[in-house]
Amino acid sequence: MTPCDTCVVRNRAICSGLDDAELVALNNIGRRRNVTAGEPLIWEDDDSLLVANVIEGVLKLTTSTEDGREQIVGVAYPSDFIGRPFGQTSSASVVALTDARVCVFSRNDFDRFAREHPELEHKLLERTLAELDRTRSWMMLLGRKNASEKIATFLLEMSDRLADSSCTGAIGPAKRFSLPFSRQQVADLLGLTIETVSRQFTKLKNDGVVELPSRREVEIVNRGALLALAG
Amino acid sequence: MTPCDTCVVRNRAICSGLDDAELVALNNIGRRRNVTAGEPLIWEDDDSLLVANVIEGVLKLTTSTEDGREQIVGVAYPSDFIGRPFGQTSSASVVALTDARVCVFSRNDFDRFAREHPELEHKLLERTLAELDRTRSWMMLLGRKNASEKIATFLLEMSDRLADSSCTGAIGPAKRFSLPFSRQQVADLLGLTIETVSRQFTKLKNDGVVELPSRREVEIVNRGALLALAG
DNA sequence: TTGCGTTTTTGATATCGGTCAAGGTCTGGG
DNA sequence: CCCAGACCTTGACCGATATCAAAAACGCAA
């Protein structure tokens, strides 16, 4: 098999519009790479390897201040693209939250390929616009929502996001799921401290809105209440 | 002259790569529109007119909660694109901050044109990626910076942004500029209240970091201090 | 199982920024 | 010029969330 064969299958969503010969060509310029949980994929201002497509797992994109405050500015799920094609360097660090498999492209190869395949660029543009919309609605959360609204919004988003990737055949948001985030990472995503996150989780549990069977497991008991809290 | 002739000239930055015939074609599908300060351009969930290119002036993109809290999620300056091509509806409202001139495209026309002109799509993709980067660094500000860091970062960003559009020939960040935002709008941009914004401005003035000749005018006296505060 | 390090929870306290209220300043129209 | 309304500033107070500290729960390896 050619390298990164799995990518090709998973990439169909992105590359629909490419014909088989083009898929093989894309196939040939990518390399599969495994990343274990907690390991970084791209360091800040490193521009040697830059574009990747997530096959399996979840990764975080973060920016930090010099004094160590961290903000998660994006989360990449399977089939998402990571990186910054076309000459710019990305301003975010990428770290795997779970063990992950990605398909990595050298930037030059990817850029050349994209320019020669407008359909791929069109797909990329649609995805980037969708990501921009998601990021903007997250700005609303960061700037204007209080702690309980943030937590409720987060749990609902997780419920939606993790529904697709489980492939259990069930349609719609997941009722029970496993968080790919530690409490600290939830805090970094929502612009809160770990203590506030913990207290809000405890409150939701005490109010009977969610069950927390273990640290990473969440079961949504009262979805309506969460929706009301999220605002 | 064909309609929207000004657009063509101003659009060169976006459309470089298009030949003259293509420029004329783009020219023919856009219409110039004036928007006075405070007037909306696209309402939330309205998808009749959707893509626009800013020729002159500054516009804000906002999202709001039902109970009236507002967050500015983006600011569009001359040559920026607004809207959401390719079938999706934008989740943000667009309101002019200053009197503005834009070139408006019906979504269908624009989509068709973009698909037939890969170079335009490529430019759009580059711009969208850059906007995503800017938005992500703003998330850091909203989630992790305190009030004085927010104000300092804001003033530096304004100084950079307004330098280009003034066309006075001076290179580099502007030392003195006119804010396109009211105090309330600065608050909506930074995730603060108007009172906190006002107090921080006063503090910077008292500390000799900036001069505030009038409500909208800012002169940066001590840029180093601002940089230190912004972190 | 035990023990140790990490993560999470819980509690006490402090503080930044929000809220409420009042007064001041700018601006445009009569 | 004067007035009215919008916008901005200032002050007093309060509360949500951060901070600091310690205990509890978990997970992994010996």
CA distance B203 to chain A (A): 22
Q: Which nucleotide is nearest to A202 (CA to C1')?
A: C9
For A73-105, what is each residue's pLDDT tens digit?
Answer: 999 998 899 988 776 666 788 999 999 999 888
Nucleic strand D near CB of residue A137 (< 7 Å): no
Say which of A66, A121, A231 has its CB closest to residue B121: A121
A143 pLDDT tier (thresholds 50, 70, 90): very high
Nearest to A114 by CA among A8, A25, A4: A25
* Domains assigned to chain A: 5-140 (2.60.120.10), 146-230 (1.10.10.10)
CA distance A150 to chain B (A): 11
| Residue of A136, A154, A188 to mutate when probing chain B, most B C-beta within 10 A | A136
Residue A1 in this model has a pLDDT that exceeds 50: no
**What is the pLDDT averaged over residues A27-42?**
87
Looking at residue A171, the DSSP 8-state letter turns out to be: -
A164 pLDDT tier (thresholds 50, 70, 90): very low
Give the model's pLDDT for residue B165: 43
For A212-224, what is each residue's pLDDT tens digit?
Answer: 999 999 999 999 9
A229 pLDDT tier (thresholds 50, 70, 90): very high
Give the model's pLDDT for residue B89: 67
Tell whether A122 lies on the interface with B, counting CB pairs under 8 A: yes
Give, in Å, how far the C1' of D1 lies from the CA of B217: 28
Mean pLDDT of chain B, nearest integer = 86
**What is the pLDDT averaged over residues A21-41?**
85
Reduced DSSP (H G I as helix, E B as strand, rest coil) percent helix, strand, coil of chain A, to 5: 45, 25, 30
Nucleic strand D near CB of residue A48 (< 7 Å): no
Tell whether A49 lies on the interface with B, counting CB pairs under 8 A: no
E-state strands within chain B: 30-35, 40-42, 49-56, 59-64, 70-76, 81-82, 93-96, 100-106, 176-178, 210-211, 217-220
Tell whether A134 lies on the interface with B, counting CB pairs under 8 A: no
Give the model's pLDDT for residue B45: 53
Question: Closest residue of B to A136, CA-based?
Answer: B73
Residue B9 in this model has a pLDDT that exceeds 60: no
For B168-185, what is each residue's pLDDT tens digit?
Answer: 455 678 899 999 999 999
Give the model's pLDDT for residue B48: 58
Question: Closest residue of A to B149, CA-based?
Answer: A65
For B199-213, what is each residue's pLDDT tens digit?
Answer: 999 999 999 999 999
Is the model more confident about A94 or about A22?
Answer: A94
- A16: which strand partners? A18
CA distance B185 to chain A (A): 13
Give the model's pLDDT for residue A49: 62
Q: Is B112 helix (H, G, I), strand (E, B) or coil?
A: helix
In B, which residues are within 8 Å of A191 by CB distance? 142-144
User: In whole angstroms, what is the distance from residue B147 CA to residue B145 CA?
Assistant: 7
B49 pLDDT tier (thresholds 50, 70, 90): low
With pLDDT > 90 as the criterion, what percentage of chain A qualifies?
56
Q: Which nucleotide is nearest to B191 (CA to C1')?
A: C17
Total beta-carbon pairs less than 8 A apart between chain A and chain B: 122
Is the model more confident about B224 or about B109?
Answer: B224
For B83-93, what is each residue's pLDDT tens digit?
Answer: 887 766 667 88
Tell whether B136 lies on the interface with A, counting CB pairs under 8 A: yes
Residues 50-69 of A with CB under 8 A from B: 61, 63, 65-67, 69
Report yes or no for ipTM above 0.95: no
Contacts 24+ apart (CB under 8 A), A5-12: A6/A32, A6/A55, A6/A101, A6/A103, A7/A32, A7/A53, A7/A55, A7/A103, A10/A53, A10/A55, A10/A78, A10/A79, A10/A103, A11/A53, A11/A79, A11/A103
In A, which residues are within 8 Å of B130 by CB distance? 88
For B56-100, what is each residue's pLDDT tens digit?
Answer: 999 999 999 989 999 999 999 988 999 887 766 667 889 999 999
Residue B167 in this model has a pLDDT that exceeds 50: no
Nucleic strand D near CB of residue A191 (< 7 Å): yes
Mean pLDDT of chain A, nearest integer = 86
